Amino acid sequence: MEYTIYILLLPLFTFIFIGLLSNKLSHKTAGIIGTISLTIITILSYMTAFEYFTTQKINGVYQTIVPFNQLWLNLGANLHIDLGIMLDPISVMMLIVVSTVSLMVHIYSLGYMKGEVGFQRYYSFLSLFTFSMLGLVVATNIFQMYIFWELVGVSSYLLIGFYYTKPEAVAASKKAFIVTRFADLFFLIGILILSFFTQTFDFGILMSGDGSIFNSAIGTTFIGGSVLTWAMALIFVGGAGKSAMFPFHIWLPDAMEGPTPVSALIHAATMVVAGVFLVARLFPIYIGFTPEVLHGIAYVGAFTAMFSAIIAIVQTDIKRVLAFSTISQIGFMMVALGVSGYEGHEGLGYMSSMFHLFTHAMFKALLFLGAGSIIHAVHSNEMNQMGGLRKYMPITHLTFLIACLSISGIPPFSGFFSKDEILTATFNFSNGLGIWMTVVAFLTAFYMFRLYYNIFWGKEYKSENGHIPHESPISMTFPLIFLAAVTLVSGFIPFGKFVTADRAEYIIHLDWTVATISISVAIIAILLATALYRKPSNIPSKIVSKTKGLYKAAYHRFYIDEIYLFITKSVIFKGISQPFAWFDRHIIDGAMNGLAWITNWTSLKIRGFQSGQVQWYAYVFLLGTLLITILAIAI
Amino acid sequence: MNFLSIFVLIPVLMILALFLSKKRNQILGVMVTGSTLLIGLSIYLVIKYIITRAGGATDPMLFTSTITWYEPLNIHYSVGVDAVSVAMLCLSSIIVFTGTFVSWKIEPLTKEFFLWYCLLAIGVFGFFISTDIFTMFMFYETALIPMFLLIGIWGSGRKEYSAMKLTLMLMGASALLLVGILGIYFSSGATSMNILDIKNANIPLNQQYLFFILTFVGFGVLGAMFPFHTWSPDGHASAPTAVSMLHAGVLMKLGGYGCFRVAIYLMPEAAEQLAPFFLILTGIGVVYGAFTACVQTDLKYINAYSSVSHCNLVLFAILMLNQTAMTGAVLQMLSHGLMTALFFALIGMIYGRTHTRLITEMGGLIKIMPFLGVCFVIAGLASLGLPGLSGFVSEMTIFVGAFENTDAFRRTLTIISTASIVITAVYILRMVGKFLLGPLQNQEHAKLDDAHWFERLAVIILIAGIVYIGSFPTDLADMLNNSIGNVVAQVMR
């Protein structure tokens, strides 16, 4: 499968080509080159998947194959960074997800970004992102993953800041980069620790064998845990940063300042699940040697899921609702990984997490692209400036509804199947966590339908300047229809045949008790939302006035952003940097200047001796002679 | 004559030619020809070096040659190179070349500017080819003096103060160096001042302590070691563009190179024992420089403090005394040299147009000057360690190497200094966000033009170097690693 290398090289060349020639190419040419390149990548990815899943199963277990691996940098005797391609069930699945969503976003952007200044730049950055994300998922070693991890971070920075003349976009891109960079620092330290004790970066060596490679890391303890535990926990912190887990979630809602297709691609479907992918990639180590970290991951995921679902209920910017919903759904995936075991039925959590990653990528991209279509039509992100749009935009309406039903967990849409498996796995782990996540599922269905009714039903759309919203062009509706179709059918994919923790086949059985609970919870939530938001009413505002404190806190996202702002502005800038700068100018430099001053002062004082007055010289001469004579006599 | 001496000969001939040239075009012609020859010579040197090494040459220094020039003290003009000096010579010739193009429109006294510039080049090249410590010292001094005039005459702002401060601090350091070098020579009892000879004759440990401190601090001042770095912000801020480039890009590397070649190589036992103290100083410098850069508003000050942070990381890595970290240190010197030269070049170009360097007085410039803006962003990304650009390769090599030390003290320091990658991101993005992005702040700036051809040429060459190191580091790192392996093997015997 040597052709897989082109999956990486093609987007890289497209990036360089469009990037360097951005002044020479017309908008249309740049868009078409980017889209064609991505079409080829998508075809190659599907070929890879087909060939991999049909030929690489030996004795009922999928093999890991490395079609390409190239030494990049030697670091000492044993350590070296390679760049290569590793294919196993999850990386092949991610190839499909990334290329599909990216292709849809490329097509969609032809319409959405039409006529924007910097259209070529936009397409070259999209290619850069696709390259980085694909490189991340096929990484053969943890350092390659870190390299591409940083690259997706910077492509995200560049794309969030696409409208760079807007101060909000600049601030948001900066925040996204710095917050994830901060988390990446822990990832890096984790890698340093892990690689020192195992003397390898290579996933193949880390994951195969009897685990004796970790003996020294387990044997060394550091503040109440083995070094391996610390390393794996630190690596997870890196994943939590990219996947916007609490308390690193603050960058994601702001990242919505980027163009909406970018939010669909990067901040809903692909980059933000990198953390989930990271945990899944290292899952054998987590489950085999540091299960306590894995449980920690489950609790972080569960807390984040609930926390952001509550915030999502009260947001009024439709992209922010979707952003918090994304955080919440990634929480689901983390929980699923955290509660998972390794073999057979135990490994249900792992399977369902990957399944949910897949279905979520499709329906969340659909939601964002739908939101883009709406924003395109009404020129606003705010819910209260919408309403009754179903008449004007039938295709957007229908596809959006499908996605909403899917995320709410209504059969037969894809989200039902994956979410239901997650809940089953969670209930197997502990009833408390199961109930907690069921509540989150209830909130999910509620806020999604609040969003849906506020956009498409509710009060009639009134425009301020006689502008009538209309359906988007075919380049934008085609991706909607395609993704809606995927959402309709992908629930029936026998996912357990392809991706499981132990890579052996697992037949999914629906647990009907859990399914009944989850369906009825979703239906109740939808009915509640229907009652409240379908027609304009004053009940929601009454509820708001009753729960003013809670509402306000949730609306302000529980003031986490303010805490960060305080830390950066008051602690880091005012508390550290400014005193350092003052210290540098006044103390250290002052000492140097002081030295110069003392020299000056001394020479000023001594200068008097060289006054040029002969009388004075004669006087000193006589005095000196006298002194020496007296001294000579005395001795 | 040994072909390495041509590195010094070319600038000498350039000076003679400059004396004879009258018109502006002649002056520029001399500079372009000369610096192109230097680039060609470095390419020749690289090829010859690789071929000789591939042919099985295992000497620590290649192409050696010695001429006695002061018999009573056994001072020789000795030259020779290993991979580290080859890398430094290439870096220097690139910076001298690009600096020429950046100074295309320098006024007034064009001829005199380039005369001093060439004298500076003589010092730099001579330093890197020498293996005799006294000759090294002499070239080092040669490089310092022109700096005073270049800043004092062609500089901006408080130029007299800055020039005086920079020169005095570096002169103070070279006083320490002179004592250190003579001490090394006499206490070793070697028959010449050649490094290779001194290495064979051991220096007694009790004397090593004193001379290690003298030489390490002496070179460290030039390498902006905390707390002797304060000449750097003022000096760089006042210096004309090409001089900032040459100074931060190459001259500060003299410090790191000297620490490596003289202090550590000749006195490894003292280095081993005194390393913790200096590790703390340089570790502080890494974080301190980065934090201080966060609140500066002058572009040159931001970059100067950023240089303090990056250069302290070089010394930090050298003091880790292992092969990987030292390789990282040399990579970091190359990477920082190119990066900071690019920064200063771009800042100079932007300043030449806007006549301000305060980020608070600019905004949205990338729209007006897309070329300069994009290049500045690339420089920034390289500085904050984006994979594919040079900073990532060098920093990661340093961190992995530094972490190979098993004691908790060094590991803790390593972890603290890794924090600099976050702080670097903070000040770089703050700077880029304030003056390049956002709405146009000053309507006067809307009329400004983008880079001219000579500026583009300089910038593209520097970026090409950064991308080369960042994307294809395999061979370069291996070449350095082999040479440093020799050194480490001798140091740790």
Set of chain B residues whose Cβ sits within 8 Å of the Cβ of A166: 438
Gap from B63 CA to chain A (nearest CA, Å): 27
Residue A80 gets the label, from left (phi > 0), alpha (psi -120 to 50) or beta, of beta
Tens digit of each residue's pLDDT (9 = 90 or more) over A278-326 = 999 999 999 888 899 999 999 999 999 999 999 998 888 999 999 999 9
Residues of A in contact with B227 (CB under 8 A): 588
Q: Reduce the secondary structure of A538-551 to three states and give it as a string.
A: CHHHHHHHHCHHHH
CB contact under 8 A, B437 and A182: no
Record: contact A150-B392, CB cut-off 8 A? yes
- B437 with A161: Cβ contact below 8 A: yes
- Which residues in chain A are contacts of B385 at CB distance < 8 A? 150
Chain B residues touching A71 at Cβ < 8 A: 474
Shortest Cα–Cα distance, B27 to chain A (Å)? 34
Cβ contact B400–A581 (<8 Å): no
CB atoms within 10 A of CB B353: 18
Please tell me the distance in Å from B29's CA to the nearest CA on chain A: 31
To the nearest whole angstrom, how far is the Cα of A178 from the nearest Cα of chain B? 6
Radius of gyration over alpha carbons of chain B, in Å?
A: 21
The two tokens of residue A175 are: 């925040």
Inter-chain contact B165–A596, Cβ cutoff 8 Å? yes
Tokens at A217, concatenated: 């890391």
At B130, give phi and psi (nearest 5°). Answer: -75, 150
Higher pLDDT pick, A112 / A220: A112
Tell me if A167 and B438 make a contact (CB, 8 A cut-off).
yes
- pLDDT tens profile A321-365: 999 999 999 999 999 999 988 887 888 899 999 999 999 999 999
Task: With CB atoms and an 8 Å threshold, state whether A592 touches B169.
Answer: yes
Nearest CA in chain B to A582: B292
pLDDT above 90: residue A14: yes
Q: Which of residues 377-416 of A touch B (CB under 8 A)?
A: none
Across the range A596-623, mean pLDDT stands at 83
CA distance A40 to chain B (A): 25
Chosen for mutation from A170, A187, A195 (greatest number of chain B CBs closer than 10 Å) is A170
Residue A407 has pLDDT above 90, yes or no: yes
Across the interface, whether the CB atoms of A181 and B324 are under 8 A apart is answered: no
Question: Which member of A185, A573, A581 has the closest CB to residue B419?
Answer: A185
The neighbour count for residue B412, using CB atoms within 10 Å, is: 11
**Residue A74: what are its φ and ψ, rounded to 5°?**
-85, 130
ipTM, two decimals, is 0.92
Distance from CA of A577 to the nearest CA of B (A): 5
Nearest CA in chain A to B469: A73
Distance from the B380 Cα atom to the nearest Cα atom in chain A, whole angstroms: 12
> What's the pLDDT score for residue B445?
78
Give A196's contacts in chain B (Cβ within 8 Å): 403-404
Confidence bin at A95 (pLDDT 50/70/90) = very high
State phi, psi for A202 to the nearest 5 degrees: -75, 130
HSE-up (13 A, CA, CB side) for residue A375 = 21
Chain B residues whose CB is inside 8 A of the A592 CB are 165, 169, 230-231
Residue A412 has pLDDT above 60, yes or no: yes
Q: Which residues on chain A are in Cβ contact (under 8 Å) with B230?
A: 584, 588-589, 592
- Chain A nearest C-alpha distance from B70 (Å): 35
Contact (CB<8Å) A165/B473: no
Q: Do B425 and A584 touch (CB under 8 A)?
A: no
Q: Give CA–CA dist A70/A79, Å, rounded.
A: 14
CB contact under 8 A, A74 and B429: no
Burial state string for A228-260 with b = 16 or more CB within 10 A and e = fewer than 16: bbbbbbbbbbbbbbbbbbbbbbbbbbbbbbbbb
pLDDT over 60 (residue A589): yes
pLDDT at A211 over 80: no
Alpha carbons within 13 angstroms on the beta-carbon side of residue B290 total: 26
Nearest to A76 among B165, B366, B401 (CB): B401
Q: Long-range CB contacts (< 8 A, 24+ apart) of A64-70? A: A64/A88, A64/A204, A65/A1, A66/A140, A66/A204, A67/A1, A67/A2, A67/A4, A67/A5, A68/A2, A68/A4, A68/A5, A69/A140
A contact residues 144-173, partner B, Cβ 8 Å cutoff: 147-148, 150-151, 154, 157, 161, 164-167, 170-171, 173
CB contact under 8 A, A195 and B400: yes
A-to-B residue pairs, Cβ atoms closer than 8 angstroms: 124
What residues contact B146, with CB distance under 8 A and at least 6 apart? B116, B117, B119, B120, B123
Identity of the highest mean pLDDT range in A34-43, A262-271, A308-317, A493-502: A34-43
A79 to chain B, any CB pair closer than 8 A? The answer is yes
- Of B133, B274, B283, B160, the residue nearest B216 (C-alpha): B274
Q: Is A509 helix (H, G, I), strand (E, B) or coil?
A: coil
Contact list, B291 vs chain A (CB under 8 Å): 572, 576-577, 580
Nearest to B422 among A81, A150, A182 (CB): A182
Q: Which residues of A, range 194-233, sit inside 8 Å of B by Cβ?
A: 195-196
Which among B275, B251, B256, B312 is positioned nearest to B84, based on CA atoms? B256
Residues of A in contact with B381 (CB under 8 A): 154
Nearest chain A residue to B364 by CA distance is: A165
Q: Do B425 and A178 touch (CB under 8 A)?
A: yes
Mean pLDDT, chain A, whole residue set: 89
What integer pLDDT is reported at residue A108 of this predicted model? Answer: 93
pLDDT by residue, tens only, chain B of 493 residues: 688 888 888 999 988 988 888 888 888 888 899 999 999 999 999 998 888 888 887 787 888 888 888 888 778 888 888 889 999 999 999 999 998 888 887 777 888 888 898 999 999 999 999 988 888 999 998 888 888 888 888 888 788 888 888 888 888 888 999 999 888 888 887 788 888 888 887 788 888 888 899 999 999 998 888 888 888 888 888 888 888 888 888 888 999 999 988 888 888 888 888 889 999 999 999 999 999 998 888 899 999 999 999 999 999 999 988 889 999 999 999 999 999 999 999 998 898 888 888 888 888 888 888 899 999 999 999 999 899 999 999 999 999 989 888 788 888 899 999 999 999 999 999 999 888 888 888 888 778 788 788 888 999 999 999 999 999 998 888 888 888 888 887 776 5
Q: What phi and psi values does residue A85 have, to the nearest 5 degrees?
A: -130, 125
What is the pLDDT, as a whole number, of residue A627? 93
pLDDT in tens, A107-120: 999 989 888 888 99
Q: Which of residues 582-601 of A touch B (CB under 8 A)?
A: 584, 588-589, 592, 596
Which is higher by pLDDT, A607 or A137? A137
C-alpha A244, offset from chain centre: 6
Distance from CA of A152 to the nearest CA of B (A): 10
pLDDT at A464 over 70: no
* Shortest Cα distance, chain A CAs vs residue B421, angstroms: 8
What's residue B105's pLDDT?
Answer: 79
- In this prediction, residue A274 carries a pLDDT of 93
What is the structure's pLDDT at B72?
Answer: 80
Across A179-204, average pLDDT:
91
Q: Provide the pLDDT for residue B231.
A: 86
**What's residue B1's pLDDT?**
63
Q: Does A520 touch chain B (CB under 8 A)?
A: no
* pLDDT of A126 above 90: yes
